A and B are shown apart, each in its own frame.
Chain A
């Protein structure tokens, strides 16, 4: 005899309650995660956005004989106290490079020192004596102003917070990632193609497979040690260079690309391979003409995500010497450079208050690039995804 609806419903009540409870728990977990994300972004934006603005001060410059020896002499001594030392040091060089300047004078906006900048932004600062009043006066007169910080994007690192920028690190990141891509992409894809399409399924290939999967989970600093031992000490690749950094990161990215490529290859249906074999393709032709083009979106997505991961990596680069004070853009792949996360790491260790916003600003730039990379990975996959 079957049970009536009422009997069944009364039993169901408990089950429904349980599933409702579970739904609430999972939703609050999601809400908590979202809240942390919002807090993180709010904090980063609050701290980092001011870094994109910098205080400039208007000064009258007199290019005198004395100023060509000591830059400070070119300015009114009162105002000179507010000007960045980076600019003071620049004046003699300007005169040396362009002797016609000597004896002339001009009015221009120059970088203020970071204490003035911090004062204007309402942060703790170390302005002395009557300096705060002086700044207030000049602000009244429209001779001190916050402007978009071009220095941040056009200069390398500096000991003076007001003239420290991320250009050297950004170029270093691009160079390092180029090396990583050039090494890890072809080797990774070909390894995956061999394992997936050519290799027999035996103990050896299974062993290789397990090891590749394990490699992806190895702490990245160990790759840095490997890079130091093999690339620098054994092969003599110059330390701190984008070349050695890229090679080290390539080691780290390889398993990611191999795994992504194998997944992409495996998702190509066998019917396509059979069709290709059926018309007389050799194994290599099957892979090159039919399987790889279909797997390409997946391979590209995986590679971009692998690269994005490598881009955010600092630990292995500490070991190969890329976390360093690099004021200039590296002129070649074999000369000292630094990368964005390393630059952030360096700034985070600076004692000056002004570097806090530099750190947050650098993080914002890094985040923006990472979001851009991940978004392009998604777009690429959407664009080239084909049905069969």
Chain B
């Protein structure tokens, strides 16, 4: 392991920080996917995110960790503008994807969400058949034409989500009849069926048992070959297992953004170290 051990700093990264990780992960891909600059967010008068800077790289898993209420999920929802749905939210700063500001008035949030899919904390399949759960969105976005094409896409999405073998004989049963872990993989299949660039996962395994969790983690590892994955997790072992980069959030700020191995073996900040070792949060 050729991890560069950086100087330990006690203060969190200042606002002038460039948004790049403290230590580079040599195995990771470094093409830029989403660039976040000076991003602040208010719920009414309460500021939830304070001038965040971060570069998210393509075809990696980036984990967001931190104590409850630190803004991880809020930040995640900024990336596909799900915060628009909450009344009284005000966003400032830049979230740039593919050279475009996603918060610009010209940006259509529907187009954005086609390219930035999302998986939620609680599995939430549509109360329709398994087949319809997958086929609905591609059909809506005119990605498929004929029935055969649609069948093929459903199979591919379910295979990619590692669910095909389990459900191929009951595609027309309701999606809600599956187990929790299967439902969550169905939601992942639903997200990748529209071939997005980025998949946001908001604590995707927090409602699942350990075996289903392990399955989802393996799946994330496979999916990152094609997709950029940003996941929020409360489970630090999970972050250590699946993520290439990890960002530690605290009180609406990104305290440390680092190579995962470095973050867990030799964090650059005192706060991150305290949190990771369980002395805090």
- Please report A residues at the B interface, Cβ cutoff 8 Å: 200-201, 269, 271-282, 285, 289-290, 294, 386-388
Contact = CB atoms under 8 A, between A and B. Distances in A.
Nearest to A268: B127
Nearest to B120: A274
Interface in B70-115: 80, 82, 85, 87, 110-111, 113-114
Contacts of B113: 277-280
A17 B140 CA distance: 64
Given A275-B124, A275-B187, A278-B120, 16 more contacts: A201-B87, A271-B122, A274-B82, A274-B85, A274-B118, A276-B126, A278-B80, A278-B82, A278-B119, A279-B137, A279-B140, A280-B114, A280-B140, A282-B110, A289-B140, A294-B127
A272 B80 CA distance: 17
30 contacts: A200-B87, A272-B124, A274-B124, A275-B120, A275-B187, A275-B190, A276-B126, A277-B82, A278-B82, A278-B113, A278-B117, A278-B191, A279-B136, A279-B140, A279-B190, A279-B191, A279-B194, A280-B111, A280-B114, A280-B137, A280-B140, A280-B141, A281-B110, A281-B137, A281-B140, A282-B110, A289-B140, A290-B126, A386-B127, A387-B127
Contacts of B194: 279-280
B19 interface: no
Q: Is the interface of A mostly helix, strand, loop or mixed?
A: helix
Interface size class of B (residues with CB under 8 A): 20 to 34
A388 B124 CA distance: 8
B195 to A, nearest CB: 12
Contact of B140 (A272, A285, A294, A386): A285
A278 B111 CA distance: 11
Nearest to B84: A277
Contacts of B191: 278-279
A280 B117 CA distance: 8
B61 to A, nearest CB: 19
B176 interface: yes
B252 interface: no
User: Closest 4 A-B residue pairs measured CB to CB?
Assistant: A279-B137, A271-B124, A278-B118, A280-B113
A279 B192 CA distance: 9
B162 interface: no
Nearest to B118: A278
Contact of A275 (B87, B110, B114, B126): B126
Contact of A388 (B80, B141, B176): B176
B125 interface: yes
Contacts of A289: 136, 140
Interface string B119-150: 11010111100000000110011000000000
Contacts of B114: 280
Nearest to A269: B124
Contacts of B176: 387-388
Contacts of B87: 200-201
